[in-house]
Structure 1
Amino acid sequence: MDLIDLVIRFGTPLVVIAVLLEQGGLPLPAAPLLVVAGALADTGSMRADVLLSAAVVACLLADHVWFSLGRAYGRKVLGTICRVSLSPDTCVRQTDDLIRKHGAPLLLVAKFIPGVSAVAIPSAAANGLAYRRFVLFDVLGAFAWAGAYLGAGMIFSREVNRLLDRMNTVGSWSLAVFGALIGVYVAVKLAHRQRLKRLHRLVRISPAEMMKLLENDPEAVIVDARSQLAREADVRAFPRSVVLGDRTIVEVLPLEQRGRTIVTFCTCPNEASAALLAEQLIKAGYERVRVLTGGEAALEMLAQ
């Protein structure tokens, strides 16, 4: 059985499984399969309406699970999503900022944005998005996402089918190349995650060490790298802390203050936003930079 016959025979179940896995958070892109299915639908080998319905239903099933988890467990579930999807842990802050600016309409395009697609729904649920608005924009977004890739396959049907014919000619080598590309995709995501973790280990400071630092160094300052949504969800603050918000670090701490001890903090998974900010500070020439570990536990211990 060649590749085209395989997709024609099992196309709809494959679409459902691929979309469920991707929208469930796994780093397995379903878009290429939707494009191929769309190309085959244009030739009459498959039904476009069935494929579209299957993809949308799979999206809605996965999205409702994440919405329920976001409602039940709040922001705690976001770290789990980042670990499963291999999205950068900084995607939580990025998504929070987009939700704050655009609200529920973000769900119309979230599935097209790498990093945001995995986190947008549970983040919106954790921040109080009404269920009716979630359903409205999620349904529209699912149709837009699935329809765009199926439509692209139908528009470029001749080119896609020509590529499939060539892949069948090459045989198993084409599957090996595709598998290698997926491997590279996963490796790049893992490498980015590990880079931040290595930096975090080098410059981290524990809450207990932070308490001593605040007592012994009157110039030490904490830079709160949490998103505005995260700060609104937990209004506690550290002594001597400044909020980064939408400002650059140079606006918050001018370069002439590079000799001060600067501790970055966030409640995102693996202190990723804080570690990324620490990396930017070190590159900018700030000499004494630390990342506060502990997240919410550190906030509980040290907050005013």
Structure 2
Amino acid sequence: MTELLAQYGLWLLFAVVLAEQLGLPIPAVPLVMLAGARVADDPLYGVLALAVAVAASALGDAAWYVAGRLHGHRVLRLLCRISLSPDTCVRQSESTFTRYGIATLVIAKFVPGLSTLAPPLAGALGMKPSAFMLFNTAGAVLWAGAALLLGLLFAAQIDAVLDALAEMGIYAAALVAVLLALYIGWRWLDRRRALRQLQSERVAPEDLLAMLDRGDAVTVVDVRSGLITEAEPVRIPGALHIELEQIGEHLHRLPRDLPLIVYCACPNDVSAVRAALKMHAAGLKHARPLRGGIDGWLAAGYRVEGLEARPS
């Protein structure tokens, strides 16, 4: 294994970091730390490893940033399909962007889930390419540098582990494969657990349209984040805009015994489901998520109107 890392370490490092940033469930930090363990004997290798890790990270992030610019917030749906990160990370990413703004890109790689979702979200929100590259590269340098430093500090322990694996021979490869399989399996189970929470009964867009056309006493609630509504300032006619985090403050404004249809703009309607669950817990038992959210509504060609200011 030591010889393998010596011969192909930088290429392997590039491939793993790129794969992780493209959304595959492959942890890159351990390999960056292995590279850091070699810095004591070969300082130049550390410089090369830092450059390779940053370049691979920037390449993967740039691809998702461009996808976000071209396809908007909808690209996150694709990302959630190929990634094992729970869909709730999309909403968490939006909240982090709301709180920290462009500085989110500097800390993104230190936050599980946010690392992959931040670049397409930055593109979807219309962040300037120059600003994205500057702050995203700064974050990549900090992330890779921190992992290399950890590898350098624990070089003796890492060498001991490598020596033990070398003695194990082929069993070492089997052990690594088992550990990787366990990691991917845990992430998959975590995703399935998250998806099971989304099995609430949904309302189809055509059914909601029929309710509105008949003049039914139905209340529609838009729980998209402020960042998303700024990028796409339209709503389903008559919808109340109440962000998910502020649902509790506005429960008194919502009818307890009439239909409540909640929608968002996120994969698997996760924010709408979470809002509906909060309403159920507060006794609003008729709250149901809209299937497909605002994207499904727009795709069906149904009417929309300009978004009013958030209620105070």
**Interval containing the TM-score (normalised by the shorter chain):** 0.7 to 0.9
How many Å apart are 1:222 and its aligned residue? 2.4
C-alpha contact (below 8 Å) 1:40/1:46 kept by paired residues: no
How many Å apart are 1:291 and its aligned residue? 1.4
Superposed CA offset, 1:256-300 (max 9, x none) = 955443322112122122223334444555422311013323155
Q: Which residue of 2 aligns with 1:32?
A: 30
C-alpha contact (below 8 Å) 1:39/1:150 kept by paired residues: yes
Mark the CA change 1:279 to 1:8 in structure 2 (over 3 Å): closer, same or farther.
farther
How many Å apart are 1:60 and its aligned residue? 1.8
How many Å apart are 1:80 and its aligned residue? 1.5
Q: Which residue of 2 aligns with 1:297?
A: 296
Rounded to whole Å, the distance in 1 between the matches of 2:2 and 2:252 is 60
Rounded to whole Å, the distance in 2 between the matches of 1:50 and 1:67 is 25
Mark the CA change 1:210 to 1:181 in structure 2 (over 3 Å): closer, same or farther.
farther
Structure 2-normalised TM-score?
0.86
1:116 aligns with 2:114: yes
Superposed CA offset, 1:62-113 (max 9, x none) = 2222222222222222211222222222222222222233222211111111
Q: How many residues align?
A: 301
C-alpha contact (below 8 Å) 2:224/2:244 kept by paired residues: no
C-alpha contact (below 8 Å) 1:70/1:122 kept by paired residues: yes
Q: Which residue of 2 aligns with 1:130?
A: 128
How many Å apart are 1:246 and its aligned residue? 6.0
Mark the CA change 1:174 to 1:261 in structure 2 (over 3 Å): closer, same or farther.
farther
Work out which of the residue numbers 7, 10, 30 in structure 2 matches 1:9.
7
The 5 Å alignment of 1:212-223 reads 212-214=210-212, 215=214, 217-218=216-217, 220-223=218-221
Rounded to whole Å, the distance in 2 between the matches of 1:102 and 1:259 is 39
Work out which of the residue numbers 80, 83, 95 in structure 2 matches 1:82.
80
Task: Quote the sequence identity (%).
Answer: 35
Structure 2 gap ranges (5+): 306-312
Q: Which residue of 1 aligns with 2:105?
A: 107
Rounded to whole Å, the distance in 2 between the matches of 1:51 and 1:276 is 42
Mark the CA change 1:113 to 1:275 in structure 2 (over 3 Å): closer, same or farther.
same
C-alpha contact (below 8 Å) 1:96/1:227 kept by paired residues: yes
* Letter matched to residue 297 of structure 1: G
C-alpha contact (below 8 Å) 1:40/1:161 kept by paired residues: no
Rounded to whole Å, the distance in 1 between the matches of 2:154 and 2:240 is 52
The 5 Å alignment of 1:67-78 reads 67-78=65-76
Superposed CA offset, 1:129-186 (max 9, x none) = 1122112112211111111101110011111212222233344444434333333333
Alignment RMSD (CA, Å): 2.6
Q: Which residue of 2 aligns with 1:146?
A: 144
Rounded to whole Å, the distance in 2 between the matches of 1:91 and 1:182 is 22
Work out which of the residue numbers 187, 194, 202 in structure 2 matches 1:204.
202
Mark the CA change 1:77 to 1:246 in structure 2 (over 3 Å): closer, same or farther.
closer
More deviation, 14-23/172-181:
172-181
1:52 aligns with 2:50: yes
C-alpha contact (below 8 Å) 1:104/1:137 kept by paired residues: yes
Rounded to whole Å, the distance in 2 between the matches of 1:143 and 1:45 is 17
Rounded to whole Å, the distance in 2 between the matches of 1:101 and 1:250 is 19
SS in 2 for 1:26: coil
Q: Which residue of 1 aligns with 2:225?
A: 227
Q: Which residue of 2 aligns with 1:276?
A: 274
The 5 Å alignment of 1:234-253 reads 234-245=232-243, 247-253=245-251
* Letter matched to residue 107 of structure 1: L
C-alpha contact (below 8 Å) 2:200/2:273 kept by paired residues: no
SS in 2 for 1:94: helix
C-alpha contact (below 8 Å) 2:223/2:244 kept by paired residues: no
SS in 2 for 1:301: coil
C-alpha contact (below 8 Å) 1:82/1:88 kept by paired residues: yes
Structure 1 gap ranges (5+): none
